[in-house]
A and B are shown apart, each in its own frame.
Chain A
Amino acid sequence: MERQPERDTTRRPATFGLTVVVATLMAGAVAWTSPAAAEWPDGSVRVIVPYAPGGTSDNTMRAVQPALEEILGTEVTIENISGGGGTIGIARAADQRADGNNFGFVPTATLTIAPHMNTVAYDPIDGFEPVGRMAESYGALAVRKDFPADTVEEFIAYARANPGEVTVGSAGIGTITHLYSEIFADVTDVDLTHVPFKGSGEAMNNLLGGHVDALFDPVVLRQAQADTVKPLAILNQERWEGLPEIPTMQEAGVEGFDVASWFGIVAPAGTPDAAVEGMAQALDEALQDPAVQERFADLGLMPVFLPTDDFAELIAADHENYGSILARVGLIAQ
């Protein structure tokens, strides 16, 4: 009903800025009155989610929020700042005071893909203190019902026999769903034609309507359960319990398909270690909460905690890896 989604689903209005003002004032007041070596957390904690409420990112953060509040014993407020495919909110997160009260929620693409492709107002590596990864998102490769392949092997064979004729949709250029297909094409040495849409919903619609042949995306999972598309492989290292008979890429014989859509938490560069470590610990603990695990399962997420240092390595590795993939397929200058 509004134009923005018609042209770009990523531009989503954020909630009104009152929370910002209140949270900032509170954080400021607390910081001012407390001694420098205060214990963390000191006052309420704020997490910027770079997408609008209701999206996967927002749902993920809200799934852990109650558990985090209980563990930290303080309020955890979520602020949605959308726009620029998530980069505006992340830039805002990088700009916050590094006082241990401010954090940012990061989906894969904002730190590892977008900085290669667009003008972003943050440094994905040095601009943040990585806190921890909280989840990996399940996804699958699915083809339209009447596509002449029932396994990944057949899919590859068909694509080899018909180079460039297999069309693969995506949620948009430079999204993780786009990277899935580029990396798949790279490691299996097939020539696929990428057809970008604006958001997974549009891409899914075109797969259901048979306008494109295949899609690498989390949205296909539920469609596959409803038997409206044909799932060929799970994109993660483990099978998805919702479709236990579908093999992973590795099990299907695809080597080197090492790409994952993850969600994590970062803090502005310079945030005290006590806050970074405290938040990481709380996150680890929250992910063991059965309620959080159940919620994650509903959302198609795998709770896989990765502590600070490992998360930093993951970000750096993905950043470099995706950069070279994008250069190889000609989307950025080498």
Chain B
Amino acid sequence: MEHWLSVLSLVGDWRVLLFLPLGVVLGAVVGAIPGLTVTMAVSILLPFTLFLDPLPGLVLLLGIYKGGLFGGSISAILLNVPGTPAAACTMLDGYPLARQGRAGEAIDVALWASFLGDLLSVLALILFAGVLATIGLRFGPVELFALILFSLTVIAAVSTSGLARGLIGGILGLIAGTVGLDLVYGTERFTFGSPNLLDGIAFMPLLIGLFALPDIFLYYARGGVLVHTKPIATFSNLRIGPKVLRSLLPTIGKGSTIGIMLGAIPGIGATTATFVSYAEARRTAPDRAKFGSGALSGVAAAESANSGTGAATLIPLLALGIPGDIVTAMLLGAFYFHGLAPGPLLFQNDLDLVHGLYLTLLISSAIVFLVGRYMTVHLQRISEIPLDLMYPIVISLTAVGAFALSNALFDVYVMLAAGVLGLAFKLMRIPAAAFLIGFVLSPLLEDNMRRVLLISRGDVGAFFDSWIALGFYATTLGVVVTIVARALQGGGKRGSAGQL
């Protein structure tokens, strides 16, 4: 009882109550603005939070983190610009829906999926942190390699213009992902002597250029400046009904579970989780035929997995003291700065704080939902802006965003180059999403493959030395066989990849 009273007094602090909604709103706004990322907001505010007590400071940062997970979907749906990397998958169906005048529904689905994914993730953190952390530890290089191999089958799910074109995109992405320092020898690969490429091609500028710029280029190439076209989207229907929501619940449940499981494994990240969830939904959702051209399940799958990783990323951080991604790495720094050591000892020494954190995370789930409901009403305004006003704003924002990520003009060039590449892909009907998946998974696949071979000293048998890995290989094989069979069956005429 005494413990819970002290927890309540921690959470009842006016700064906690102020910073919680403030963080969520800030995160949602930053997430929604192309080029401004949650990582950026957290890194700017982190030094400020160091001067606060631990809980208010952490709450502000966590609020931003969670708000951003939803906010990223807004610009993805309305503008085809992912506000955050993990929202890339949301674009695949969200933007087509917006073009069909169903942006309101798409955003509402994104909100419900985000809210439920986030809530389940928080509950998983509270109830199963220990178990999930232990499962996460089972994922060594062999298991990760098998998981990433399976994730590559998602390429088929996004290959709406034929499997061959999808594979070309995927392979080009895998190659682009090798730019930078080699993991084992530190050799510079395709860097052309530029220190800017040592860490590989910067992801956000690539993402923004690849998806947002081609449409803008085409618009101006067709003389769009002179014409007042109709708005990008209209909100014919602002909300989804309970019936639609109910039909999406299985997809959201699965997506959240995938997000939670993958979020609990350090080093995988939300972006990969969204693609795995998307592939799964594409296989089973009732509206799977519409995937890629505007399926509500596609948005639900992506957003539930995205938000599902949120609190789950805190599992290895709190239970083991290991950060799973860049934002949690910063949070770890904040914990250390306050003299708190996440890990098993945190639960012994600072249980009040841990429980206070849990409570605020639950509250923030509700705040995300309320803020989102409120925001969607007003977002209608964005869709009323004509394109010849909207596009210059988008271009400026994305250029500033690309620059601000590392204070480097080089990244703006990367964005423009990616725009040209995206345009070429569009004209050749190569799915940019396939390229993106290859690019995201390439280093994970290669690095883990090489770690397996290093540890086993070149013994290929090591790849099969794990039941988890064998399970993934079997699933991968099953999926590939289905894809090929469907592709053959469907015939080259339709050029369809078939249903996954």
Contacts and interface: CB of A to CB of B under 8 A. Distances in A.
B140 A209 contact: yes
B344 A87 contact: no
A221 B329 CA distance: 17
Judged by DSSP, the binding face of B is helix
Interface stretch (A7-15, A33-41, A232-240, A264-272): A7-15
Interface string B112-146: 00000000000000000000000011111100000
B405 A13 contact: yes
B188 A199 contact: no
A8 B267 contact: no
Interface string A224-237: 01111000000000
Instruction: Name the residue in B39, B196, B271 with the highest tally of chain A Cβ atoms < 10 Å from its Cβ.
Output: B39
A1 to B, nearest CB: 4
Nearest to A242: B341
A22 to B, nearest CB: 14
Interface in B368-420: 403-408
Contact of B330 (A54, A117, A211): A54
Contacts of B44: 15-16, 53
Nearest to A298: B339
B406 A14 contact: yes
Contacts of A8: 180-181, 199-200, 443
A16 to B, nearest CB: 5
A198 B443 CA distance: 11
B43 A3 contact: no
B269 interface: yes
A328 to B, nearest CB: 15
B44 to A, nearest CB: 5
Interface in B71-88: 84-86
B43 A198 contact: no
B43 A54 contact: yes
Interface in B164-209: 177, 180-186, 188, 191, 193-196, 198-200, 202-204
Interface string A52-64: 1111101100100
B14 interface: no
Give the one of A54, A164, A173 with max B CB within 10 A. Answer: A54
A211 B266 contact: no
A83 interface: yes
A209 B138 contact: yes
Interface in A166-209: 167, 172-174, 193-199, 201-202, 204-206, 208-209
Contacts, number: 256
B185 A173 contact: yes
B84 A54 contact: no
Contacts of B440: 3, 6
A223 B332 CA distance: 14
Interface string A68-100: 000000000010111111011001000000000
Contact of B267 (A59, A172, A205, A222): A205
A87 B333 CA distance: 21
Nearest to B43: A53
A304 interface: no
Interface stretch (A118-126, A150-158, A314-322): A118-126
Interface in A5-29: 5-17, 20
Contacts of A288: none
A149 interface: no
A141 to B, nearest CB: 18
A47 B2 CA distance: 46
Interface string B32-51: 00000111100110110010
Contacts of A298: 336-337, 339
Interface residues of B, number: 88
A331 interface: yes
B451 A195 contact: yes
A11 B141 contact: no
A1 B313 CA distance: 9
B199 A2 contact: no
Interface in B444-496: 444, 447, 451, 454-455, 457
Contacts of B138: 209
B407 A20 contact: yes
B266 A201 contact: yes
Contacts of A198: 183, 267, 447
Contacts of A91: 195
Nearest to B439: A3
B272 interface: yes
Contact of A196 (B183, B313, B336): B183
Contacts of B141: 206, 211
B188 A119 contact: yes
A205 B40 contact: no
Contacts of A5: 267, 269, 325-326, 329
Contacts of B337: 59, 62, 295, 298-299
Contacts of A226: 321, 343-345
A12 B43 contact: yes
B40 A6 contact: no
B445 to A, nearest CB: 11
Given A11-B202, A83-B408, A54 B332 contact: yes
B155 interface: no
A322 to B, nearest CB: 13
B406 A85 contact: no
A167 B186 contact: no
Contacts of A173: 181-186
Given A2-B203, A6-B444, A193-B457, A88 B406 contact: yes
A306 to B, nearest CB: 24
A122 B71 CA distance: 40
Nearest to B334: A54
Given A10-B199, A83-B196, A84-B195, A199 B329 contact: yes
Interface of B: 37-40, 43-44, 46-47, 50, 65, 68-69, 84-86, 136-141, 177, 180-186, 188, 191, 193-196, 198-200, 202-204, 266-272, 306, 309-310, 313, 316, 320-327, 329-334, 336-337, 339, 341, 343-345, 403-408, 440, 443-444, 447, 451, 454-455, 457
17 contacts: A2-B327, A3-B440, A4-B199, A6-B325, A13-B40, A14-B405, A20-B407, A62-B47, A87-B195, A119-B195, A195-B451, A201-B267, A201-B332, A205-B322, A223-B321, A295-B337, A299-B336
Interface of A: 1-17, 20, 52-56, 58-59, 62, 78, 80-85, 87-88, 91, 117-121, 164-165, 167, 172-174, 193-199, 201-202, 204-206, 208-212, 219, 222-223, 225-228, 295, 298-299, 331
Given A7-B447, A209-B139, 4 more contacts: A6-B444, A7-B200, A8-B181, A54-B333
Across chains A and B, which 6 residue pairs bring their CB atoms closest together, nearest first? A54-B333, A211-B140, A54-B330, A209-B137, A5-B326, A11-B199
